[in-house]
Copies of this chain bind each other. A is one copy, B any other.
Amino acid sequence: MRLSTKGRYAVTAMLDLALNGTEGPVTLADISENQGISLSYLEQLFAALRSKGLVRGVRGPGGGYYLGREADEISIADIICAVDEWVEFTRCKGRQNCQDGQRCLTHSLWDDLSQQIFIFLSDITLQDLVQRGEKREAERLEKKAATAAVSKVVGLKGRAA
C-alpha cells in the first residue's frame, strides 16, 4: 500500500466526480480547473481508473465521466490501488536466511501492517467522504468514532497513553 500525491490526486478527482456528477457527466477540463491538475495528467489517472471500472467515460459534446459504481461501492483503497500499483516489498526473495527465519520476520510484519492500512482504507468509501462534507458539525465525533471502529476492526490496540 502506498500513499503518494498521485493517489491523492486520484482520490480528490474522484471526490469531485462524486460531488458534481449527480446530474450528467463531469468533464476532465472541469476537474482540471477545480483541482488545479493538468488535463493530461488527469487523462493518465482516469485511464487507470477506467481500466479498473471505477469510472465510465462518455465521449463527444456533453460527455465526460461518471462514477463506474455507486459512491458507496467505491473505497479509497480501490482508487489508490488503481493508480498507485501495489509494489511488493520482497527484496529478500531468494536471499539466504530469508526463508522462514528471523531475517524475514520484519518483512512479514510490514506486510501485515500494510494489509491493515489497506483494510482501513477499504472501509472508507467515497460516499463516506461526501457525507462527511455535508455535515461538518459532527466532524470531530465522527472522526473519533471512525478511528475507534477501525481499531476494533483491525484488532491492533494502541498504547494506552
- Residue ranges of A at the interface with B (Cβ–Cβ < 8 Å): 1-5, 8, 11-12, 15-16, 19, 34-36, 72-73, 75-76, 87, 89, 91-92, 95, 100, 102-103, 105-110, 112-113, 115-117, 119-125, 127-129, 132-133, 136-137, 139-140, 143, 146-147, 150-151, 154, 156-159
Q: Is the CB of B159 within 8 A of A125?
A: yes
Name the one of B3, B35, B73, B154 contacting A3, with C-beta atoms under 8 angstroms.
B3
Chain B residues with CB below 8 A from A72, complex form: 159
For the complex formed, measure the closest distance between the CB of A121 and the CB atoms of chain B, giving whole angstroms: 8
Known: A3-B1, A3-B3, A115-B143. A12 touches B125 (CB 8 A): no
Known: A11-B110, A19-B106, A108-B136. A158 touches B124 (CB 8 A): yes
Report the copy number of this chain in the oligomer: 2
Q: Is the CB of A133 within 8 A of B105?
A: yes
Q: Is the CB of B113 within 8 A of A76?
A: yes
6 more contacts with CB within 8 A, not counting A2-B3, A132-B156, are A4-B4, A15-B109, A19-B106, A35-B91, A105-B137, A123-B158
